[in-house]
Structure 1
Amino acid sequence: MQDGIYRVLFLSRRNSARSVMAEAILNKIGKGRFKAFSAAVDPAPVIEPTVLQLLRNEDYPIEDIKPRHFRDFADAGATDLDFVFTLSDTAAGEALPEWPGLPITGHWRCPDPILVEDEAWQRKQAFMQVLTGLERRLNIFINLPFASLDRMSLQHHIRDIGDAEKA
């Protein structure tokens, strides 16, 4: 933690939906205690328009959100990270670098709503389900008693938050 702010990176395959949602959610509900970023294994050229509209509708911050590669957060001089969460199996399966700050890591698998090829209302529903699932997880996360947990206990809680969504 630097300056009393936890820095959190969310990783997905394209950084065009799930990780962008997580970044926007945490930057809003974290109320200055958290600074979220997002990146991809293979960045998309643009953010999924459905995601931008959904985030706007829910009043989440979307300024400066753009697809980025995870190497931007691993290069020399990159900001130290406190937490790194993979949201896709693709990102979790990558040989990821040693992150600056040696963050606590976790895999919070989320289904990819971009892969839903049904009717428009079903696609929107898939995006909303991912958004509400991330909101639940992140609300639990920001309310952990960080000051009273050692690294191992915190890692255990992070894993439990990811596992709870699967149940």
Structure 2
Amino acid sequence: MTDKTYHILVLCTGNSARSIMAEALINILGQGRFRAFSAGSHPTGKVNPFAVEQVAVLGYPTDALRSKSWDEFTQPDAPAMDFILTVCDNAAGEVCPVWPGQPVAAHWGFEDPAAVVGSDEYKREAFHTICQQIRRKVEQLMKLQLDELDLPAIKQALQTIGNQPV
């Protein structure tokens, strides 16, 4: 087993909910083996408060959470990514920047909990549901023996995780 830390960039259009929760889950469950970041193609500029609640329940620090552009990760001083995961269908269909190092990309689509209309309790439940769905996929990622797989096999494994029902 390698001591390599894999860097993952999780993308969503607004970078306010799904990508934020995925970043937190990967960083928590990855236990240093993975380092996740999140960004958006058209960031909203604020993190959804219901996403902040979900992340806080996980024990993830929320003070540094922010909605940011994927342009930050194209800069020369940005960490080199091993994987790019899109978590919303809009981001998956957009033309992404050219990422240095040609990271493996996959799509893991989740419904947008920020689009839910209703009471705060109803919205909170929607965020909890999506967070649990993301968690199940992240747990599958954690089981992969990446150091034993070549790039095509890693890409296939990530796509398989993404294609599995939530």
Normalised by the shorter chain, which TM-score bucket? over 0.9
Give the drift of 1:123: 1.0
> Which residue does 2:61 correspond to in 1?
61
- Checking the alignment, whether the CA contact within 8 Å between 2:11 and 2:85 is kept in structure 1 is yes
Give the drift of 1:58: 2.7
> Which residue does 2:159 correspond to in 1?
159
The superposition leaves residues 66-105 of structure 1 with CA deviations (integer Å, 9 ceiling, x where unpaired) of: 1110111113332210000001111111111111121110
- Checking the alignment, whether the CA contact within 8 Å between 1:12 and 1:41 is kept in structure 2 is yes
Tell me the percent identity. Answer: 33
Give the drift of 1:106: 0.4
TM-score normalised according to structure 2 size: 0.94
Opposite residue 156 of structure 1, the aligned amino acid is Q
Matched, 1:103 2:103: yes
Give distance in 1, aligned partners of 2:12 and 2:68. Answer: 10
Give distance in 2, aligned partners of 1:24 and 1:78. Answer: 19
The 5 Å alignment of 1:2-13 reads 4-13=4-13
- Checking the alignment, whether the CA contact within 8 Å between 1:21 and 1:51 is kept in structure 2 is yes
* Alignment gaps of 5+ in structure 2: none
The 5 Å alignment of 1:73-112 reads 73-112=73-112
The 5 Å alignment of 1:1-150 reads 4-150=4-150
Give distance in 2, aligned partners of 1:92 and 1:77. Answer: 25
Give distance in 1, aligned partners of 2:77 and 2:52. Answer: 30
Range with bigger deviation, 127-136 or 71-80: 71-80
The superposition leaves residues 9-43 of structure 1 with CA deviations (integer Å, 9 ceiling, x where unpaired) of: 00001111000000011111111111100000111
- Checking the alignment, whether the CA contact within 8 Å between 2:72 and 2:78 is kept in structure 1 is yes
Opposite residue 99 of structure 1, the aligned amino acid is W
- Checking the alignment, whether the CA contact within 8 Å between 2:45 and 2:68 is kept in structure 1 is no
Number of residues of Structure 1 aligned to a counterpart in Structure 2: 165
* Alignment gaps of 5+ in structure 1: none
Question: What's the Cα RMSD here?
Answer: 1.6
Give distance in 2, aligned partners of 1:161 and 1:61. Answer: 27
- Checking the alignment, whether the CA contact within 8 Å between 2:116 and 2:126 is kept in structure 1 is yes
Give distance in 2, aligned partners of 1:40 and 1:54. Answer: 19
